[in-house]
Amino acid sequence: MQIKITLSLILGITLCFSNSSFANNALVGNEAPQADQTTQQIQVHVSSVSDTSIIEASNQAAKSANIEDDPARLPANIVAPITNVASKKVKVSSAPSKPKNMIIMIGDGMGPAYTTAYRYFKDNPDTEEIEQTVFDRLLVGMASTYPAPASGYVTDSAASATALATGFKSYNGAISVDLDKRPLTTIMELAKKVGLATGVAVSCQVNHATPAAFLAHNEHRRNYVQIAEGYLASDADVILGGGQKYFSDALLSEFTAKGYQHITEFEQLDGITEPKVLGLFADVQLPWVLDDQDGYKLSTLTKKSLELLSQNEQGFILMVEGSLIDWAGHSNDIATAMGEMDEFANAIEVVEQFVRERNDTLMVVTADHNTGGLSIGAHGEYVWNPTMLHNIKASPQTISEELVAVDNWQERFNQLIGFEATTEELASLDAARMQGQKQLYKSILHIIDIRTNTGWTSVGHTASDVQVFAAGPGSRLFSGHQDNTEIATKMMSLLPKALN
């Protein structure tokens, strides 16, 4: 009798659990990997829909398949929330389906090896754990960077910025013009048409290739003066960076006549309480981070841009560029590159905090291309030693400039580089110094590469894909692999409709 009762209980419990949500959970769990892949494909390829419409499409498909009545009929390409199976209700996020504000941040030349190297550069050697960086937190996908076929597979900054600003491929050197040199509509121009504020904040000259592609049209990136003059027509609310040498007094007068506040010192930023502003804080580039005693230049410009642009009740579009990562990469200068990466990460965290404090802002971070073919480890040795980089007290370029101007250069080198140079290292520096500052700079870089075991394949760009990072409403659209033109078209699809 006891055996029969026990068997009955076991059978009853088994039947009970087979009809419960636990069984449904197992079913959904088995289907989830394939469904997740399909969801990513939908998000990547359908650039004209919002997150909400993706959810609605999934719910509609679920209804047509009678999922609520029979969970076993769940199609392989749809992920139904488990709460939907159990209660037939979908929990809807309070965040808007489309962002009010959008921020695109571009690490110029920041290929995947740069963000990886930065992780190890920032690692605390006193802990067993390798700490995550902001790049690890926000990573969602990858993007291809090739230009129009006329320029092959390896892009320059102008063609890549044109793709990110307009959604179209063009030739290397093009500033938001097509192959026939006709203007392409930028996301900034679309934003202006619907009443949004726009701005750029960069660490190079404001009329360099990347910001130029967002604010101007020109057949070649080297036409710096023409590009600067073209900024008058952009009506951008915030323009911050370097490049004072390209803006004549006459041109600056035209900007001020149009309502722009022109400033040249960082201390003047505190006195700017409303747009419009043209801030030109250097003749060309801002100082290298390693040479900047005050520091936080790009993050300061980013914070001020957010403060000013957010005054527009309709919303805003902001482009921020960590420009000098690329410049350091062209020189194969790992010490300077990590300094620039650190400040770009600071700027990203400023924006990340802004996004977290609101539910109406999308941030997308990517690179325009990879520079230098950075290798974290080289010469067949399984090691990379970034610790010494923290002890370097100035950029190698600045160190080389100082050493050619002083007699006791050996002592000064040891002070600035942060270690005692060997006899062999001093001999190589002495020979290079006799050939001038440029050769001395290369010799310093070689010593740093040998001590850190850093490798490089080029002093130019490479064709490797780059990472995509995102957060905020609409961020799921950027998951998985996409072309750089799709980043632009997806962001354009999230703009509000034209004002009547």
Domain membership of residue 93 (yes or no) is no
What CATH number has the domain bearing residue 151?
3.40.720.10
Summarize pLDDT for 112-158 with one digit per residue, the tens: 999 999 999 999 999 999 999 999 999 999 999 999 999 999 999 99
Alpha carbon distance 160, 370 (integer Å): 11
Domain boundary among 59, 87, 115: 87
Q: How confident is the model at residue 96 (pLDDT cuts 50, 70, 90)?
A: low
Whether residue 390 is found in the same domain as residue 317: no
Q: Would the pLDDT of 62 be above 60?
A: no
Mean pLDDT of 439-447: 98
Mean pLDDT of 156-176: 98
Domain membership of residue 461 (yes or no) is no
Alpha carbon distance 461, 330 (integer Å): 8
Domain membership of residue 380 (yes or no) is no
Name the least confident of 47-56, 109-118, 315-324.
Answer: 47-56
The enclosing H or E element of 328 equals helix 324-330
151 flagged as catalytic: no
Secondary structure string (H, E, C) spanning 116-166: HHHHHHHCCCCCCCCCCCHHHHHEEEEEECCCCHHHCCCCCHHHHHHHHHH
Q: Looking at 47, 157, 170, 331, which residue is catalytic?
A: 157
Whether residue 8 is found in the same domain as residue 116: no
Higher pLDDT, residue 69 or 99: 99
Q: Would the pLDDT of 450 be above 70?
A: yes
Domain membership of residue 477 (yes or no) is yes
| Pairing mode of beta strands 454-455, 375-376 | antiparallel
Residue 35 near residue 76 (C-beta atoms within 8 A): yes
CB count, 10 Å around CB of 336?
Answer: 28
Q: Would the pLDDT of 230 be above 80?
A: yes
- Domain span holding position 207: 101-374+466-493
Whether residue 282 is found in the same domain as residue 193: yes
Whether residue 290 is found in the same domain as residue 262: yes
Q: Would the pLDDT of 66 be above 80?
A: no
Whether residue 75 is found in the same domain as residue 135: no
Mean pLDDT of 233-258: 98
Alpha carbon distance 48, 51 (integer Å): 10
Q: Is 370 helix (H, G, I), strand (E, B) or coil?
A: strand
pLDDT of residue 275: 98
DSSP per residue over 349-365, as a string? HHHHHHHHH-SSEEEEE
Whether residue 307 is found in the same domain as residue 360: yes
Alpha carbon distance 102, 209 (integer Å): 21
Q: Is 371 helix (H, G, I), strand (E, B) or coil?
A: strand
pLDDT of residue 497: 85
pLDDT of residue 457: 98
Whether residue 108 is found in the same domain as residue 196: yes
pLDDT of residue 293: 83
Total domains present in the chain: 3
Whether residue 54 is found in the same domain as residue 181: no
Query: Considering the chain, what percentage of its residues have pLDDT values greater than 70?
Result: 80
What CATH number has the domain bearing residue 393?
1.10.60.40
Whether residue 123 is found in the same domain as residue 184: yes
Domain membership of residue 460 (yes or no) is no
Whether residue 297 is found in the same domain as residue 403: no
Domain membership of residue 320 (yes or no) is yes
pLDDT of residue 498: 73
Q: Would the pLDDT of 37 be above 60?
A: no
The enclosing H or E element of 104 equals strand 101-107
pLDDT of residue 94: 52
| Pairing mode of beta strands 466-471, 139-144 | antiparallel
Mean pLDDT of 476-481: 98
Q: Would the pLDDT of 45 be above 80?
A: no
| Burial (CB count within 10 angstroms: exposed 0-12, middle 13-18, buried 19+), residue 470 | buried
pLDDT of residue 103: 98
Q: Would the pLDDT of 459 be above 90?
A: yes
Domain boundary among 20, 52, 87: 87
Query: Considering the chain, what percentage of its residues have pLDDT values greater than 90?
Result: 79
Please give the C-alpha separations between residue 149 and each of 142, 159, 179, in angstroms, as whole numbers.
21, 11, 10
Whether residue 235 is found in the same domain as residue 351: yes
Domain membership of residue 414 (yes or no) is yes
Mean pLDDT of 288-307: 96
Alpha carbon distance 382, 8 (integer Å): 63
pLDDT of residue 35: 37
Q: How confident is the model at residue 31 (pLDDT cuts 50, 70, 90)?
A: very low
Q: Would the pLDDT of 10 be above 90?
A: no
Whether residue 240 is found in the same domain as residue 176: yes
Q: How confident is the model at residue 226 (pLDDT cuts 50, 70, 90)?
A: very high
Closest CA to 271 of 308, 302, 244: 308
Average pLDDT over the chain reads 86
Domain membership of residue 500 (yes or no) is no
pLDDT of residue 79: 33
